[in-house]
Amino acid sequence: MTPRQPLAALRAPRATRSNALHAGAWWLWALGLATAASRTTNPLLLALIIAVTAYVVAARRTDAPWARGYGAFLKIALAVLVIRLFFAVFLGSPIPGTTVLFTLPEVPLPDWAQGVRIGGRVTAEGLVFALRDGLKLATMLVCVGAANALASPARLLKSLPAALYEAGMAVVVAMTFAPHLIADVRRLRAARRLRGRDDKGIKAVLRIGLPVLEGALERSVALAASMDARGYGRTARVPPAVRRTTAALTLGGLLGVCAGTYGLLAAQGAAFGLPVLLLGLAAALGGLWLGGRRAVRSRYRPDRWGARAWLVSASGAAVGAAVVRAAARLPDALAPPPVPLTAPELPLWPAAAVLAGLLPAFVAPVPAPRTETDAGSVSRTGQTPPAKETTRA
């Protein structure tokens, strides 16, 4: 896993709290790869990007609950691909293909529905086009999944400005609730068996909806009580003038951003669009900064943005930039035309650039070995999501 390098100092260290990679770096890396994926429909290149994320995730993810999400994202990506193909088969494809694979019975539609087709010819060109298109979307999803598995959402929250902390906290709490909810569904579905009812199928899941929601509600009330009792939402006293200025700046700024964006996008008004947008942005940022004075929070050991974080984020940015550039230079290689049918070719230098995305697998700190947490009975409750003590509110 670690590169064989003569200089021991350059080898990736064992991850601890103090050298942990900044969560933002992982996200930048993943967004770089996702940008690359958005600029190509070449299946070989897309597959390469997926492989790169998979390798990095396998090499650097921890054993934490959020780190198990990569597999789920892979499944969602597969579903996206299947749905895209389904539409291409049943609703036809705009691609004027000539290689007819088979013909489905076509549903006759009235005149006003011209241009819509249900059933009919299915061409190989149409399928290939849909496959590539779906694969592009799927790859972008997988990139997001990789960031999710590698970076702790709570750590990312720590990098938010103080005024946004409470909103961000709500998001993180919601995210940690999802696994609990899934565990609840599993447990209650299993419990149906004890009542002599079937525990398989969609019906069984639907029947337990209400108890699951009740349980989730109880848990959120308990969590809210705990957070309140531990001082969440304590605010410093701020003079009323500052409070009003904050509100005015934030609201005015957001209005400015809206007006500016409209100006930029509308046919006329491009002249005032940009300045208004910038002004609005500045006002909103000022509001955020002022709003931060109300918060009394301090931060415990925030992640530092060190050399390794630079390397990781730069590798993602490099992949993104290279593929964007390649898309301009080699349009045929990166977005091969569906007609006529040809086997895709691997463009060499863009592929080499994508491989640069592997850098984190060598420079990011190595997480503690997983066997350590597997040993002994201590972790056993952790292995089974509805752990013994989890269920009671």
By CB under 8 A, name the binding residues for another protein. 16-17, 63-66, 152, 154, 173, 176, 187-188, 190-199, 207-208, 210-211, 214-215, 219, 222-234, 236, 296-301, 368, 373-374, 376-385, 387-393
Amino acid at 281: L
Token output for 51 = 């492989």
Q: What minimum distance in Å lies between the beta carbon of 206 and another protein?
A: 12
* Nearer to another protein among residue 158 and residue 325 (C-beta): 158
Contact call for residues 26 and 315 (beta carbons, < 8 A): no
Q: What minimum distance in Å lies between the beta carbon of 3 and another protein?
A: 24
Q: What minimum distance in Å lies between the beta carbon of 224 and another protein?
A: 8
Q: What minimum distance in Å lies between the beta carbon of 382 and another protein?
A: 3
* Nearer to another protein among residue 6 and residue 376 (C-beta): 376
Token output for 141 = 């999803």
Q: What minimum distance in Å lies between the beta carbon of 162 and another protein?
A: 10
If phi > 0 it is left, if psi is from -120 to 50 it is alpha, else beta; for residue 376 that is left
3-class secondary structure, 171: helix
CA distance 309 to 317: 12
CA distance 178 to 180: 5
* Nearer to another protein among residue 64 and residue 104 (C-beta): 64
CA distance 71 to 58: 11
Smallest CA-to-CA distance from 54 within 87, 38, 77, 35 is with 77
Q: What minimum distance in Å lies between the beta carbon of 366 and another protein?
A: 13
* Nearer to another protein among residue 65 and residue 306 (C-beta): 65
* Nearer to another protein among residue 7 and residue 236 (C-beta): 236
* Nearer to another protein among residue 34 and residue 147 (C-beta): 147
Q: How far apart are the first and last CA of the chain?
A: 43
At 121, give phi and psi (nearest 5°).
-70, 140
Q: What minimum distance in Å lies between the beta carbon of 390 and another protein?
A: 5
Token output for 154 = 């709570």
CA distance 53 to 75: 15
* Nearer to another protein among residue 191 and residue 270 (C-beta): 191
Q: What minimum distance in Å lies between the beta carbon of 360 and another protein?
A: 20
3-class secondary structure, 38: helix
Contact call for residues 190 and 199 (beta carbons, < 8 A): yes
3-class secondary structure, 274: helix
Q: What minimum distance in Å lies between the beta carbon of 51 and another protein?
A: 25
State the residue for tokens 């919601």. Answer: 174
β partners of residue 235: 295
CA distance 31 to 69: 17
β partners of residue 122: 102
* Nearer to another protein among residue 154 and residue 205 (C-beta): 154
* Nearer to another protein among residue 113 and residue 191 (C-beta): 191
